[in-house]
Amino acid sequence: MTEFLLQTSWWVPCYGLVGAILTLPWSTGIIRSTGPRPAAYFNLLMTVLAFLHGTIVFRTIWGQDSQQLVFHWLRVADLDLTFVLDISPVTMGAMELVTSLSLLAQLFALGYLEKDWALARFFALMGFFEGAMSGLVISDSLLLTYALLEMLTLSTYLLVGFWYAQPLVVTAARDAFLTKRVGDILLLMGVVALSTIAGSLNFPDLYEWTETATLPNTVATLLGLALIAGPTGKCAQFPLHLWLDEAMEGPNPASILRNSVVVACGAYVLIKLQPILTLSPVALTTLVVIGTVTAIGATLVAIAQIDIKRALSHSTSAYLGLVFMAVGTQWTDFALLLLFTHAIAKALLFMSVGSVIVTTNNQNLTESGGLWSRMPATTTAFLVGSASLIGLPPLGGFWALQLGFNDLWGTHPALVSVLLLVNTLTALNLTRVFRLVFLGEPQPKTKRTPEVPWLMAVPMVSLIVLTFLIPVMMNSLSIIPSWEYINKMSVVLLVLSSLVGCGIGSTIYLHKAWSRSVLRPWRFLQDLLSYDFYIDRVYRLSVVFGVSVMSRFSAWFDRYVVDGVVNFVGLASIFSGQQLKYSISGRTQSYLLTIFLGVSFFGLLITRRSWIGL
């Protein structure tokens, strides 16, 4: 039985897709009498089956060599397109992370969207989401990986635009889709080029080819930049980072997955591509630059946000920036561990935030306060998630950052300062949010705020327990080093940076009115951070303006030049026809005379040219 489940492990991503299909009678309105709840139950059942199946496979494959499942999709002449799946402890562990967080997010959604008329459609999209992510983490083929990334892009568009009756939601969904498409198109160019150069798109074959490949510098650079463009868009990295902030207009249960495992899937693909990127030092350097700029910039922007979800979404971009730095410096172990601990902590934070939003119908930090005594479970979830995200021992985030500190200290000491700065600013931001939401005097919108119902409290409390168990799990898997091998300096600096951030966040003045400073330099700095360094305006004045001008010129050229030439030919034909009809006499001898004269004229013309040639 265990061997059968191992050989059919490719079914795990299909459970979510089956759940999405089973919800169609309710999501399309064919069944109305029962309400949308049965659709949610079907999808939850499929997710439970996926989780159990994955758990058995993970326990079976642990300690064994990885296995590959090969599916031949298309064979034509020399073309052999195959889908390869990698069944290993790492891939199955990643799949378990996806299915477990998806299960908790769906259970949370039952309470969050209890009165939403489109509950069935939401669960159908969540099943589609889960299937794409589960398939992506076990994919060992770049072709299949690209197809699943496109599924994630479509799922993001549909989930962000879930409440499509709101204009701002429609704009956010459009921007998220188009921004990701920029990276996807460049990635497609890299995939096509790589298939031509390497002759295969399976990762094992690509890794073997990389060991002996010799490419011109220009080709290697362009190939590397194209391959990192897709993950840059998926992970909301500079300059394709604006979509994640706008995507917070979607339902919070979708934001739980988007900020924990969806963006992590893009980084996971980047880690899979890392051996290929070593062919181009420029690409690796670009990864470090992108990660550093995003990590510092997004953390600074998060501090100035007054929307609770946006304050956390910018933090997601910042931590993914650290992952980009790790891949660029070829420390993939640090990248994987940071993705794992960040996903758990950020999912817990967004569950806490979702509880606040659904209870108060408000996500403005300046209109919140005094919730700690009214919502103890939600407050505990926020505190535990925050402590797990930053470098506070003994939770998971501390060990991930400590590993990064050790890895970068010997090879890239300058990046250690970036890691410490991001950790300090993140601690400051989370402390600021905690003070504004949970401490202080209750505001008009937070005076009557009971704790959330059990459908939302159970997954939140379960994730709190799981967060505390993460260090135990890491220790049992020998991920946490022994005390004698721990860099004492890293422990001191990480804890100190966390305490400094929490201390500053606890002492700075936070005015509820959030009035702008009367001092021009401070007002400029406040606006600069709150408006994300005016990146959107820069895009409007550069890219959007350029595309608009080109579109208008193209429309003018098409209307007055292309259409003008076509219309001129048409009018000339009509006018010629109108004129020729008056020369029609109906006499055969006149037609013969005209033909004779024409032929004679052309004959004389040809004879004259011949004489001149002689």
> Which of 517, 542, 564 is at the close of a domain?
517
Residues 221 and 102 in one domain: no
Residues 325 and 465 in one domain: yes
CA angle 96, 98, 157 (to 5 degrees): 165
User: Does residue 176 form part of some domain?
Assistant: no
Residues 356 and 447 in one domain: yes
User: Does residue 448 form part of some domain?
Assistant: yes
In whole angstroms, give the CA distance from residue 220 to residue 237.
22
Provide the H-helix boundaries in 395-453. 396-411, 413-438
Reference 156, options 94, 97, 233; nearest CA is 233
**Exposed e or buried b for every residue in 220-259, given b needs 16+ CB within 10 A?**
bbbbbbbbbbbbbbbbbbbbbbbbbbbbbbbbbbbbbbbb
> Which of 71, 106, 140 is at the close of a domain?
140
pTM > 0.85: yes
Sign of CA pseudo-dihedral 442, 447, 451, 455:
negative
Residues 258 and 241 in one domain: yes
- Per the structure block, which two tokens stand in for 205? 């074959």
Identify the DSSP state of 239.
T
pLDDT at residue number 59: 84
pLDDT at residue number 108: 92
DSSP run (H or E) holding 71 = strand 67-76
Residues 122 and 209 in one domain: no
User: Does residue 150 form part of some domain?
Assistant: no
- Residue pair 237/109 in contact by the 8 Å Cβ criterion: no
- Per the structure block, which two tokens stand in for 516? 């702008």
Sequence-distant (≥ 6) Cβ neighbours of residue 141 within 8 angstroms: 82, 83, 84, 201, 202, 203
- Residue pair 382/352 in contact by the 8 Å Cβ criterion: yes
Residues 103 and 194 in one domain: no
Residues 300 and 424 in one domain: yes
Instruction: Give the other-Cβ count within 10 Å of 375's Cβ.
Output: 25
Identify the DSSP state of 258.
I
pLDDT at residue number 519: 57
Residues 575 and 589 in one domain: no
User: Does residue 173 form part of some domain?
Assistant: no
- Per the structure block, which two tokens stand in for 409? 């200290």
- Per the structure block, which two tokens stand in for 540? 């409007």
Reference 350, options 386, 323, 318, 376; nearest CA is 386
Reference 526, options 244, 305, 245; nearest CA is 305
Q: Is 90 exposed, middle or buried (0-12, 13-18, 19+ CB in 10 A)?
A: middle
The interaxial angle of helices 520-530 and 281-303, nearest 10 deg, is 120
The CA-to-CA distance between both ends of the chain, in Å, stands at 97
> Domain limits at 97?
1-140
User: Does residue 133 form part of some domain?
Assistant: yes
> Which of 473, 489, 517 is at the close of a domain?
517
Residues 471 and 610 in one domain: no
Residues lower than pLDDT 50 in the chain: none
Number of domains within the chain: 4
User: Does residue 494 form part of some domain?
Assistant: yes
In whole angstroms, give the CA distance from residue 82 to residue 70.
7
Residues 567 and 596 in one domain: no
Sequence-distant (≥ 6) Cβ neighbours of residue 46 within 8 angstroms: 15, 16, 18, 19, 22, 127
Residues 478 and 605 in one domain: no
Residues 567 and 591 in one domain: no
What's at 196, amino acid-wise? T
**Residue whose pair of structure tokens reads 């139950």 in the numeric block:** 41
| H, E, C per residue of 469-490 | HHHHHHHHCCCCCCHHHCCHHH
Q: Where are the beta strands (DSSP E) in 116-257?
A: none
CA angle 567, 570, 574 (to 5 degrees): 135
